[in-house]
Structure 1
Amino acid sequence: MPLIQVDLPRDLFEASHEAIGNAIHDAQIEALGIPANDRFQVFRPHEKGELKFDPTYNDVDRRSLLLIHVTAVHMYPVAVKQAFFRTVVDKLEPLGIRREDVLICLAENGFEDWWAGR
């Protein structure tokens, strides 16, 4: 049950949050193999100036920031996580979101760290 938290500019949230959520969820299904009904997403839109980032960090031409924080149970090999990252940006690109403007962090913990209704 990955938990997805998305920080993004308010104008992008208002224009595309449903499509962004679908793209991320579809990438989870495709790359991580999660069930289709395992969707838990929190969107946090930000006003201009609230998202701070270096536009050239790691030699990337960054113009905006879409931050995706994934919390998941530790069970995915490195190759699977890397495939997930690529799949997310591939699915966001048709929405006009540049891959250079996406930052994804996948943090893992144990099954004992979750409560999911039972």
Structure 2
Amino acid sequence: MPFVRIDALGADSERLDALGRAVHDALVETIGIPPDDRFQVLVGHDGTSSTLRYDDYLGVHRDHGIVYVAITMRSGRTPAQKQALYRRIAELAHAYAGTQPRNVFVTVTENESIDWSLGNGAAQYAPSPDTANPLSSTAPVS
């Protein structure tokens, strides 16, 4: 159940769609997200008055093709899975949207099941109150 936000400089709706597909396909392929589990915010920024800023950092040269991908998901993936995810996002962003891999900046933020409400004001992934604390029953505790 990842939540993805993609901000891209100079991106029209076609490029944003391609980037969204690239990230989703990479999530499905590398960490097993179900194909119908897509929740994304796609934002294009124009090149003249853009609020996106970037520098060359750690030897990575970036340009006006910069794409920021922020993924929020439940914790539990291994470092190897995350590295495969980053690599695949960069590959697919290049294949689908023509974005140079050096311009794909990805960050992952992890949280716990209780941190999600998927609608109706409910915490669907949280344990039910009856199973959350086995000592909360009315039976005497021995």
The answer, yes or no, to whether TM exceeds 0.5 is: yes
Consecutive unaligned residues in structure 1, runs of 5 or more = none
Normalising by structure 2, what TM-score?
0.77
Consecutive unaligned residues in structure 2, runs of 5 or more = 125-142
Q: Which position in structure 2 is the counterpart of 1:71? A: 72
Q: Could you tell me how far apart the structure 2 residues matched to 1:57 and 1:110 are?
A: 31
The residue identity in structure 2 corresponding to 1:101 is N
The residue identity in structure 1 corresponding to 2:73 is A
Q: Could you tell me how far apart the structure 2 residues matched to 1:114 and 1:67 are?
A: 23
Is residue 108 from structure 1 mapped to residue 110 from structure 2 by the alignment? Answer: yes
Map 1:3-18 onto structure 2 (within 5 A): 3-9=3-9, 11-18=10-17
Which of these two proteins has the greater Rg computed from alpha carbons? 2
Q: Which position in structure 2 is the counterpart of 1:60? A: 60
Question: Relative contact order, CA 8 A, sep 6+: which one is greater?
Answer: 1
Q: How has the CA–CA distance of structure 1 residues 14 and 2 changed in structure 2, closer, same or farther, with 3 Å as cutoff? A: same
Deviation at 1:57, TM superposition (A): 1.0
Map 1:5-44 onto structure 2 (within 5 A): 5-9=5-9, 11-44=10-43
Deviation at 1:19, TM superposition (A): 1.4
Q: Could you tell me how far apart the structure 2 residues matched to 1:88 and 1:69 are?
A: 12
Q: Could you tell me how far apart the structure 2 residues matched to 1:18 and 1:66 are?
A: 13
Are the equivalent residues in 1 in contact too, given 2:22–2:93 (CA < 8 A)? yes
The residue identity in structure 2 corresponding to 1:62 is R
Is residue 45 from structure 1 mapped to residue 44 from structure 2 by the alignment? Answer: yes
Higher helix share: 1
Q: Could you tell me how far apart the structure 2 residues matched to 1:15 and 1:111 are?
A: 33
Post-superposition Cα deviations, 1:17-65, rounded to whole Å, max 9, x if no partner, equal 22111111110100010101100000122232321111x2111121131
- Residue 69 of structure 2 aligns to a residue whose secondary structure is strand
Q: Which position in structure 1 is the counterpart of 2:139? A: none
The residue identity in structure 2 corresponding to 1:26 is D
Higher strand share: 1
- Residue 28 of structure 1 aligns to a residue whose secondary structure is helix
Percent identical pairs in the alignment equals 32
Q: Could you tell me how far apart the structure 2 residues matched to 1:2 and 1:14 are?
A: 22
Q: How many residues align?
A: 116
